[in-house]
Structure 1
Amino acid sequence: MTLPSHPARCPVPHGSPIDTDGPRVSLFDPEFAQDPHGAYDRMRARYGSLAPVDLAPDVPATLVIGYHTAVRILNDPEHFPADPRTWQRNIPGECPVLPMLEWRPNALRSTGIEHTRYRQANAASIAAMDLHALHAVVERIALPLINGFCGDGTADLISQYAFPLTFAVLNDMLGCPQDISQQVATGMAAIFDGVNADKGNAMLADALLELTVRKRRDPGDDITSRLIAHEAGLDDVEMVHQLATLYGAGIETQQNLIVHTVLLMLTDERFGGNILGGSLSTRDAVDEVLFTDPPMANYCVTYPRQPILIEDVWLPAHQPVVISMTGCNNDPAVKAREYSDNRSHLSWGVGPHACPARSLAYLVVQDAIDQLLDALPELRLGIPAEQLMWRPGPFHRALVSLPVNFPKSAPLYGY
C-alpha cells in the first residue's frame, strides 16, 4: 500500500507490524520501485524511525529508516540476532521472499559461535584474493564485452556489460566453470526477483553442490577451494550456503552499483567532466551512490529474541526487522553533504555482519566503470532519466535496463 503524500503532524506510534492499525507500505509494489525516496520521506513523516511494511503479500516486517536506530540494532546481536528459524516456521515454502530470508548455515543467518566459525572461514578465503591480479581479471573480461557493442553506437549497460562482467569476475574468483555458472545465474535471478523463487533456490543449491564436489576433487587457487580447506571444516551443505551468500552479494549488488554510478555520472553535471578528464573521480561517484541510492536498499534483517521497546515502538519477538540502508543513509538527522572519502553510510552493513568483501567490490566496480568510460568517453544516456524503469522488489534497488548511446568505434586492443 502506498502512503498518502501529505505528512502527518507527528510520527504515529505503532506496535507489532502484524497488528498495526495503520497502513503497511508494500515494498514489493512497482510504485515503490519507481519512487522509493518519496516513500521513505512519507514513512518518516508518519512513523518516525520505524515503519510497518510488507515484504511480500502477508509478510509483515518493521523497516528501520532512522540512522542512529539502525546502528544501535546492528551492533546489538544479543537482542537482535539474525537467526530467522522461529519466524519461518509459519511461512509457506512458496513465499517469494523466503529464499532471501530463510535460515542458512552461514554467517549472515547465524549468531554466536557458529557465526564466528562461518565468518572466519569467509573472511580468510576472501582476504587471500590477490587484488593486483583481480585488476587484470576485470580488464580481461571487460574489454571483449565492450568490443561486443562498441561498433553499434548503442547498448544496454545491464544485459551487455554490468551483469555479464560482475558474474564472470565472481565466477573467476570462486573458480566456477561455465556449465555450473549458468544454473547459478538462473537460480539467483529467480530468488532476487521473487518469481519462482523456491525453484530458483533449489536450482542454485544443486549447482553449488556440484561446484563443491568438483573443488573437493580438484582444488584450485580460488575462494571455493580455500573455504573447503579452511580449518572450520565446512561440510557440503555448509559449503553450498557459503557460496550462495557470496553469489547473492557479489552479482546483484555489484551490478547495480556499477549501473547506478554510471547513471549518476551521465546525469549529474558535477561528474560530466570526469568522463573527459574532470576533477571528480569514479570513486567519488561510487561513494555518493553508496550514500544516496545503494544497490541493496533494504536488508540486514534481524529477529528480536523477545518483545523490545525501541523509540516508543514495541517490536515483536521473532518478526523481521529490516534495515533500510537507503532510508538511513538519507535520514535528515545525519544526511551527508560531502560524500568523497566518507564511509559513514550503512551500505556495507555495520557490526558483526558487516560485508567482509568491500575492498573486492570497490575494486571490481571502479575498474569496470573506468574500463567502460576510457573506451567510450562520449557515452550518453539513451533515454531521459525520468523514463528509466526500476525492477520491483523489497530488497534491491535495480534498473530494468540502462540504454546508452555513443559514437561507434573500432574494437579495442586487438580483441
Structure 2
Amino acid sequence: MTTHHQPVAGHCPAHKQPQPPTGPIPIYGDAFTADPHATYRRLRARGPIVPVEISPSVYGYLAVTYRAAVYLLRNTPARFAKDPWHWEALQRGEVPVDSPARMMMQPRDNALWKDGPEHTRLRRAITGALARVDTHVLATTVARIADQLIDFFAADGQADLVTQYSDPLPMLTVFELFGCPQELGSRIVGAVTRVFDGGADSSQANTELEDACLELTHLKRYRPGRDVATYLIAAGLTDTEMVQTILLVIGAAAPPTSNHIGNGLRRVLTDPRFAGSVHDGVRPVADALDEVLWDNPPVPNYSPLYALGQQIFEGIHLEQGYPILVSFAAANSDPLLAVAPGARAGNRGHLAFSAGVHACPAPDLARVIAETALERALDRLPGLVLEVPEDELHNRPGTFLAGLTRLPVRFQPCTRIASYGR
C-alpha cells in the first residue's frame, strides 16, 4: 500500500502535518512480540492515538493512553462505529485475503461488529445465555477438569503448565458450557487459536472455524440441552448468527482465559510479593490475576472502531475509513494513570475487559475459571517452582493475543486423586 493510503495523525484540510519520518510503527513481528511495551512507549511518545501498521500492508490507528482508550470506548457508537464496512481499504479490496488483521477484523454477523438495535438484540442473546450459567456449578466444573489434567502429570514431578494445563482447561470448560462434543470442540478452539495467533494459515483456520460452529448449531437444533448453545438458539438467532456468535463467545472465552491463567501462574511463581503470600493464603489468587490484567492483559490490542465524520481527540484528527484499535495493554501501562503499579493488585480499574456498550458481557465467569484454575494448581502441586530462568520464557507471537509459549515447572511428585488413565 502506498504512503498516501496510510493515516497521518494531525491531518485535516486546513492544517496538514507531515507523516512521522519513520512512518507508522508496526505492532507485529519478532521485535514487537519480544517486548511489546517498548513499542507502546515509542507510540505514546508520538501522541495518544497514533498511526500504526497492524499487519503487513494494513494500516490504522492505535489508542495508547488510558484517556484515549476510555474516550473511544465510551463514545461508541455515538462518534465511533464498530461496523467494519466503514473500513475503506477492505471495501477497495486492498486488505490481503490471508491477512491476520482481516481474519480478526472483518465483518461478522455477531454483536461485536454491530451498532444500534442489531447490536442490542445480539448482545442481549449472549448476556441472557451466559446469565443462566451457575457460577457455583462452573467453579465445580473447572475444579474437576483441573484435577483431571493435573492427574495426568502429578506423578512426574514436572510439567509444562501451558500446554498441559492452562491451554486445555478453558477449552474443556467451554465444551461443557456449550454442550459440545469434545472432538468438535477441539476443532473449534484449535481454529480460534490459529486465528488469534495471526499465522499464515489464518484464512484456512477461519473457514474451519465457521464450518465447525455450523456443525455445532445443527447438532443443538436437533438435540437441545441445558447449555449456552441451546440458550442462544432459543433467543431466535439464525444459523448464520449462531455460527458467528459461537465463534465470538468461544473465541473470547477460551484463548484469552488460557493466557490469563498461564500469565497468572507465572506471576505467582516469579514475583516474591505473591509467591509466599498466595501459597500460605495471606493474599488471594484474585490479587495476582488482577495485577496481570493490568500489566499483561490476554487481549492486548483489539476493539477496532471507525470514526463517524471528522473526529478530533486532544488535537489529533482521526481520518475516516481507517480502523482505530484500542491498546488495552498500553492504556493500562499509561504512566499518567493515578493507580501506581504497586497498587494494582485487587484493583479492577483496568481495561482488560474493555468498557462501554461492547465491554465483555461476562467478566465474572472468566474470573471464576482463572481463579479456580490457579487455586487447584497451587493446592495440588507441592513445592511448585519454575524449572528455567524467567528470561527463558517467551511470548506467543501476535498482535491480538498475549501469552506464554510454555511454562516448565517442577514440583514434588504427588498422588493422582482419580483414575482417568494416561
Shorter-chain TM-score bucket reads over 0.9
Distance 1:366 1:248 in 2: 19
Equivalent residue number for residue 297 of structure 1:
300
The verdict on how the C-alpha distance between 1:148 and 1:330 changes in structure 2, with shifts beyond 3 A counting, is: same
Equivalent residue number for residue 34 of structure 2:
34
Instruction: Tell me the amino acid that sits aligned with residue 311 of structure 1.
Output: E
1:318 to 316, 321, 328: 321
Distance 1:198 1:19 in 2: 32
Distance 1:222 1:32 in 2: 39
Distance 2:403 2:279 in 1: 27
List per-residue Cα deviations over 1:198-240 (Å, max 9, x = no partner). Answer: 110110000000100110111101110000001xx21000000
Equivalent residue number for residue 59 of structure 2:
60
Equivalent residue number for residue 259 of structure 1:
262
**3-state SS in 2 of match to 1:333:** coil
Equivalent residue number for residue 6 of structure 1:
none
Instruction: Tell me the amino acid that sits aligned with residue 217 of structure 2.
Output: T
2:152 to 125, 138, 148: 148
2:182 to 159, 165, 178: 178
1:246 to 249, 264, 285: 249
Identity rate, percent: 36
The verdict on how the C-alpha distance between 1:124 and 1:294 changes in structure 2, with shifts beyond 3 A counting, is: same
**3-state SS in 1 of match to 2:109:** coil
Distance 2:18 2:349 in 1: 32
Is 1:334 matched with 2:322? no
Distance 1:391 1:368 in 2: 21
Distance 1:326 1:119 in 2: 25
How far is 1:412 from its partner?
2.4
1:362 to 367, 377, 394: 367
How far is 1:279 from its partner?
1.7
2:377 to 354, 372, 385: 372
The verdict on how the C-alpha distance between 1:142 and 1:250 changes in structure 2, with shifts beyond 3 A counting, is: same
CA contact (8 A) 2:197 2:400 kept: no
Is 1:280 matched with 2:296? no
CA contact (8 A) 2:171 2:186 kept: no
CA contact (8 A) 1:256 1:398 kept: yes
Distance 1:185 1:69 in 2: 32
The verdict on how the C-alpha distance between 1:278 and 1:131 changes in structure 2, with shifts beyond 3 A counting, is: closer
2:123 to 103, 119, 123: 119
TM-score (norm 1): 0.93
1:345 to 342, 350, 353: 350
Distance 1:246 1:239 in 2: 10
How far is 1:414 from its partner?
5.6
Distance 2:339 2:234 in 1: 43
**Structure 2: stretches of 5+ with no match in the other structure:** 1-7
**Structure 1: stretches of 5+ with no match in the other structure:** 1-11
TM-score (norm 2): 0.91
How far is 1:13 from its partner?
5.5
**3-state SS in 1 of match to 2:230:** helix
Tell me the C-alpha RMSD between the 2 structures: 1.8
CA contact (8 A) 1:30 1:391 kept: no
CA contact (8 A) 2:291 2:344 kept: yes
Instruction: Tell me the amino acid that sits aligned with residue 160 of structure 1.
Output: Q
Task: Give the number of equivalent residue pairs.
Answer: 401
